[in-house]
Amino acid sequence: LAVSLQKVHVLPQTVLYIADAETFSGHEECHEQKKARKRNSKETALALEKLLPKRCQVLGLVTPGIVVTPMGSSSNQPQEIEEGEAGFALLFPKIDGVKIHTFHFSKDVKNRVFDESKFAEAGLKNNPDLRVVLLFGYNSWKTGATRFLHQIVNPLNEKSIILAGGQVESFTSLTSENSHAQPGDACGVVGLAFSGPQIQSATVLLDQDVADERTAEAAMQRLKAANIPEHNTIGFMFACVGRGYRHYKTKRNMEADAFRKFFPNVPLFGFFGHGEIGCDRIVTGNFVLRECNDIKDDLLHGYTTVMTLIHLGSAK
């Protein structure tokens, strides 16, 4: 990762990196060393951030498993890496007509009700150009974490916005010009917001009943029917740790393969996590929204996979 970052000639403005816990924290074998792991992961995060421009926004996540398209070509085979070390970094340069920014909401132990004015500060309300919000909950095992996630997700659940993401193990980096918040022991939500009139996006939910190649490909067909332009587009896959090869009866890479069949030139990135955020939803340039199922507003799931396309406009 470090070597590849040093060769970058287009300066990134925003970076999203995701690694599994083993890659990020080394091979400590017992829970007594959790503090050492935390310190180790912080050092790794700082070393990564030093390779990037000072004004660059960085969001770093640690997850149980990784979905990645290897470097070299967008047509490379995407891989679901459920065991073993893996990670990736997506570097977004300045893109005309697109604004990407990071945000962080941490649960306040004193207040049960979330102050919704913070949404506007983070560019998530009163922003007519907002198109896509990738949301990641952390420390989801803490008391009140699910309730807090509902408080964040529900007000953003508007038909003109794509919401997608999931529950991660932890976040290791969150830097931007305005935010110096560091990971704490609280629970909360971090994410990336994509704004710009040229952005188009679609997302589909693969529920528990999607358990073989035929039904997985049927879900990808729904995503294909959204007619999102495939040039200058990224795919994201957020899956439950209970899916993957265990769910598909030992057949590995089923969902990533199904995605590639319908989107051979769109790179796919994501993770296996502890809960998924998303639904069937399509937002295109003219704001025509087609719902693919009746349960349109249920965004928090378990034992599912969320597949998302984000088109960043035609590259100049």
Phi and psi, residue 224, nearest 5°: -65, -35
For residue 231, is it within any domain? yes
For residue 258, is it within any domain? yes
Q: How does pLDDT run across 181-231, given as a tens digit for each residue?
A: 444 567 899 999 999 999 999 999 999 998 888 999 999 999 998 999 999
Domain count for the chain, please give it.
Answer: 1
What angle is formed at CA 168 by the lines to CA 290 and CA 25, rounded to 5 degrees? 150
Q: Residue 12 to residues 53, 73, 180: CA-CA distances in angstroms? A: 7, 19, 19
Structural domain span for residue 236: 200-311
Are the C-beta atoms of residues 274 and 268 closer than 8 Å to each other?
Answer: no
Q: In terms of C-beta density within 10 A (0-12 exposed, 13-18 middle, 19 or more buried), how is residue 32 classed?
A: exposed
For residue 212, is it within any domain? yes
Q: Percent of the chain, pLDDT > 90?
A: 49
For residue 156, is it within any domain? no
| Cβ-Cβ contacts under 8 Å for 251 (sequence gap 6 or more) | 213, 245
Are the C-beta atoms of residues 241 and 274 closer than 8 Å to each other?
Answer: yes
Q: How does pLDDT run across 34-73, given as a tens digit for each residue?
A: 555 555 777 888 888 888 888 899 999 999 999 999 876 6
For residue 3, is it within any domain? no
For residue 176, is it within any domain? no
* Higher per-residue pLDDT: 316 or 70: 70
Output the six-digit token pair for 39.
């310190």
Output the six-digit token pair for 55.
């004004």
